[in-house]
Amino acid sequence: MPASAGLRFRAACPGDAHAIAGLHADSWQRHYRGAYSDAFLDNDAAGYLLPLWTGRLASPDPQARTILAEHDGEVVGLAHTILGQDATWGAFLDNLHVAHGLKRQGIGTRLLALTGQAVLDASPPSGLYLWVLEQNSDARAFYATRGGACTERGEVPPPGGDPQLNGKPMSLRYAWRDPSKLLLAGRP
């Protein structure tokens, strides 16, 4: 299905928590296996993410920006960013996920461009960074294509406690000193 028809982008609102948590959990189950434990992914991830998103959207952090992609009324992508998170690297893109069946159709690029625009709109504008699992070679290829620089390697923080991780998985920081570089690629 070509994604461009029927696709729109908007800010998330409290009523989106269930849809976002479902998409987020499905994406974790497909792409974080091996780094996060099977028990956590299969039994607890959805129950962890629903209250997280319900809380995030019910009382939004003024520094947070949650942008959704919607296709024919269904949430098919999300980008969640905290502005001004790091004095050196700037805004932190905490979550970026596209529905499995709609990957590689430009949705992630547009979400990244809208995130870059949100960072530029903030005062003062800053850089943008994220952490990606080292094992996630597809996402790393995507960030490299979008101009991100891999600047650092570090241990993955567990999403709520050590039993949720398998061993000590590693992640990589990707950074954009100038988020305006993201805007051109995200034009429809």
Ligand X SMILES: CC(C)(COP(=O)(O)OP(=O)(O)OC[C@H]1O[C@@H](n2cnc3c(N)ncnc32)[C@H](O)[C@@H]1OP(=O)(O)O)[C@@H](O)C(=O)NCCC(=O)NCCS
**What is the contact surface with ligand X in residues (CB under 6 A)?**
27, 31, 96-98, 103-109, 130, 132, 136, 138-139, 141-142, 145
Shortest distance (Å) from residue 27 CB to ligand X: 5
Closest CB 45 distance from ligand X, rounded Å:
13
Our CB check for ligand X shows the closer of 59 and 128 to be 128
Q: What's the min distance (Å) between Cβ of 154 and ligand X? A: 14
Cβ-based nearer residue to ligand X, 14 or 144:
144
Report, in Å, the least distance between residue 160 CB and ligand X: 18
**Closest to ligand X by CB, 17 or 23:** 23
Please give the structure tokens belonging to residue 92. 């932190």
Nearest distance, CB of residue 123 and ligand X, angstroms? 27
3-state secondary structure the chain: CCCCCCEEEEECCHHHHHHHHHHHHHHHHHHCECCECHHHHHHHHHHHHHHHHHHHHHCCCCCEEEEEEEECCEEEEEEEEEEEEECCCEEEEEEEEECHHHCCCCHHHHHHHHHHHHHHHCCCCCCEEEEEECCCHHHHHHHHHCCCEEEEEEECCCCCCHHHECCCCEEEEEEECCCCHHHHHCCC
The distance of closest approach from Cβ of residue 30 to ligand X in the complex, given in angstroms and rounded to an integer, is: 7
Question: Cα(167)–Cα(157) distance, rounded to whole angstroms?
Answer: 11
**Whole-angstrom distance, CA of residue 81 vs CA of residue 103:** 20
Closer to ligand X by Cβ: residue 145 or 151: 145
Q: Which is nearer to ligand X, 49 or 132 (CB)?
A: 132
Residue 37 or 115: which CB sits closer to ligand X?
A: 115
Residue with nearest beta carbon to ligand X: 108
